Amino acid sequence: MDKNTRVGKRKKRNKAMRIFWSVLAVILVAIGGFAFYEYNIVKNAADTAYRSGGLGDAENGSKNSVISNSKPIAILLMGTDTGALGRTYKGRTDSIMVAVLNPKTKKTTLVSFERDQQVNLPDYPENSPSKLNAAYAYGNAKELAKVLKKYYNIPINAYVLINMGGLKTIVNKVGGVDIAPILSFNYEGYTFTKGKTTHMDGAKALAYSRMRYDDPEGDYGRQKRQRQVLSALLKKAESATTLLNSSFISSLSKQVQTDLTFSDMTSMAKSYLAATKDLKTDYTHGTGYMQDGVSYQKISVSERQRISNLIRKTLGLKTKTVSTDSIDTSTSSSSSSSSTTTDSNTGTAGSDNGAAAGNDQNNSTGY
């Protein structure tokens, strides 16, 4: 892969991470502003979004102690596909990131993790090895946090889960979005023309973002269109009119799940918001390979150590040597010898090992 291609992919990856981070930033801005103007509306919305993740105390302290003392905080950001393509079960987390907000340095570090990384699940050995994006489907945010601790030695203080399946409702609440399609195609009764700006309601925006098989770039192309819709939505959401729309806030709260309480958010809006202005992004570099007909990403021990050092340093913690397990020493069948820098949000999906975890409907706290 030449230098220009790598730079181009890195720019796309950084753009995707910035878009995802903007969702959390908008939440903090809205909470901070509404605390003064529409206290009850936003408090009810925050209460609706709240779900205990069972994360417990992390190495750098409990969530409450970290926030109350304005210490650097590590937040697990996840994007799930529940509700997309007619799904009713809890979807996989195809976007997995960790944001570290440091109020003292007024900087934020956002790291994206390869969703296809092959891992052993601590609490589900019978379903291992599996992909990183299956951890949430099996054991919610708690299991994913355990996997990140196992492979990267990083603590997680809180989580935010965004349900991309609720896109249709949210787009309608902001009055639709204007988008110039990046591809011409017909799907679900809608016609999209490349480069022609079109006003889309929720149903049309969802159709535009969900088509996959007729896109020459496959899942990667679909993810680009999803980011495009999300960008247009965030642009609308940044306006004062939208932020003062109680219906929009109510709809947003139903598509966001977090263990951050209303009190946590108001405190963070005061102490941590300045950190969102200076954003540094990074991502895990992996090597693609096939095993038993499934595509995976192998993240080397040295790369995991690099990411671990980065996050721990930002949190003000001493570095620790990351552990190894059977995956690090196993021989993969049909392995690819080329390194890949595929966007962790847009990598080839493949068939998940243990994908049936997506059918877990027994946990009422998950989407």
pLDDT in tens, 5-62: 444 444 545 544 555 555 566 566 555 555 455 677 778 888 999 999 889 899 999 9
Query: Residue with structure tokens 């946590």?
Result: 264
Q: Quick one: which H or E segment has residue 279?
A: strand 279-283
Q: Which helix (H) or strand (E) holds 25?
A: helix 3-37
**pLDDT tens digit string along 231-258?**
787 677 656 456 556 677 777 788 888 9
Rg, the chain, Cα only? 20
Q: Over 50: is that where the pLDDT of 196 sits? A: yes
Read off the tokens for 315.
């949190």
Question: What DSSP character marks residue 50?
Answer: B
What's residue 95's pLDDT? 79
Report how far apart, in Å, the C-alpha atoms of 96 and of each of 9, 131, 366 are. Answer: 18, 12, 16
When pLDDT is averaged across residues 85-102 and rounded to a whole number, the result is: 72
The residue-averaged pLDDT of 310-329 equals 90
110-114, 167-171, 281-285, 293-297: least confident range: 167-171
Query: Distance between terminal CA atoms of the chain?
Result: 38
State residue 34's pLDDT score.
53
Dihedral sign, CA of 323, 325, 329, 334? negative
Domains (range + CATH), the chain:
3-173+256-359 (3.30.420.590)
Can you give the pTM of this predicted structure?
Answer: 0.72
In 276-358, which residue ranges form alpha helices assigned H by DSSP? 301-315, 326-329
The DSSP code for 286 is E
pLDDT of residue 347: 32
pLDDT > 70: percent of the chain? 71
Residue 195, phi-psi category: left (phi > 0), alpha (psi -120 to 50), beta (remainder): left
Could you give the count of Cα atoms lying within 13 Å of 226 in the half-sphere of its Cβ? 26
The bridge status of strand 190-192 relative to strand 130-131 is unpaired
